[in-house]
A and B are shown apart, each in its own frame.
Chain A
Amino acid sequence: MSPRQLLASLATVGLMALFGFGVWTVLGTLQTRGSNVADPTQQQALVALPGTLVVAQNGSLYSLHGLSFSKLDTAPGNWVQVAPGPSGDLLAVDKGNGYSNVLLLNQQGQTIRTLLSESSTQFFNNHFAYYPRLSSNRQTLFYAWNWVDPSANYNVDFQIQAVPLANPGTTPTQWSIPNYYQGGDVEPLPLSNGGLIYAKYAVNTTTGATYSQLVSVSSPESQLNYLTTPAQNCSEPALNPQATELAMICTDNQTQTSTLQVASWNGSSLGPIRLLSAGPMAAMPTWSPDGKSLVFMDPLKRSYPFQMWWVPNAAGSKPGVPQQVTQNLSLTATSAPVWYP
Chain B
Amino acid sequence: MAAGTRPRRRRAGLSTHKSSFSWGRHRTLLAFLVVVGFAISGLSGVVAYFLPAVTTAFHVTGQATTGKGGRNGTSKGTIQATATPPPPGAPFTVLLLGSDNDAKFVAGQVLTQTMILVRVDPQTHKAVMLSIPRDLWVPIASGGSAKIDAAYLDGGATDAIQTVENNFGISVNYWAWIGLGGLVQLVNQLGGVDVIAQMPILDDQYPYDLTGNNPYANQRIAVLPGPQRLDGVNALTYVRSRHGDILEDIARSQKQQQLLVDIKDAAKHLNLTDIPRIASALGNGVRTDMALTQLSSIAALAKDFSNGGVQQVVMLPPDYSNAVINGQDALAPNWPVINALVAQYFPK
Contacts and interface: CB of A to CB of B under 8 A. Distances in A.
B193 A303 contact: yes
Contacts of B190: 33, 303
Contacts of B229: 299, 305-306, 330, 333
Interface in B107-125: none
A203 interface: yes
Nearest 10 pairs between A and B by C-beta? A23-B45, A183-B199, A20-B41, A181-B246, A98-B220, A183-B200, A281-B227, A24-B45, A20-B45, A16-B41
Nearest to A330: B229
B contact face: mostly helix, strand, loop, or mixed: mixed
Given A27-B273, A255-B307, A333-B229, 15 more contacts: A19-B41, A20-B43, A23-B46, A28-B273, A130-B222, A146-B222, A153-B205, A156-B243, A184-B202, A186-B200, A235-B226, A256-B195, A256-B262, A299-B194, A303-B194
Nearest to B269: A32
Interface residues of A, number: 77
Interface in A253-282: 253-258, 281-282
Contacts of B201: 183
B49 A156 contact: no
A334 B312 CA distance: 26
Contacts of B243: 154, 156
Main secondary structure of the interface of A (DSSP, over half): mixed
Contact of B44 (A20, A130, A153, A156): A20
A156 B204 contact: yes
B250 A208 contact: yes
A258 B46 contact: no
B244 interface: yes
Contacts of B251: 203, 208, 210
Contacts of B226: 235-236, 249, 251, 258, 283-284, 333-334
Contacts of A17: 41
A293 B152 CA distance: 56
B266 interface: yes
Contacts of A205: 246-247
Contacts of B247: 203, 205, 208
Interface string B42-72: 1111101100000000000000000000000
A154 B49 contact: no
A24 B189 CA distance: 20
11 contacts: A15-B38, A21-B45, A23-B45, A24-B48, A28-B273, A33-B274, A182-B245, A203-B199, A251-B196, A299-B194, A333-B227
Interface string A96-116: 011110000000000000000
Contacts of B198: 210, 251, 253
Task: Report, as a range, how many residues of chain B touch the other chain.
Answer: 35 or more
B316 interface: yes
Nearest to B306: A255
A316 interface: no
A34 interface: yes
Nearest to B266: A303
A303 B303 CA distance: 13
Given A19-B41, A153-B204, A208-B254, A333 B273 contact: no
B199 A30 contact: no
A231 interface: no
A208 B316 contact: yes
B227 A258 contact: yes
Nearest to B34: A12
A126 interface: yes
A212 B225 contact: yes
Nearest to B275: A31
Given A33-B274, A99-B220, A333 B265 contact: no
Contact of A201 (B199, B269, B316): B199
Interface centre among A22, A98, A155, A305 (most CB of B within 10 A): A98
Contact of A255 (B202, B204, B308): B308
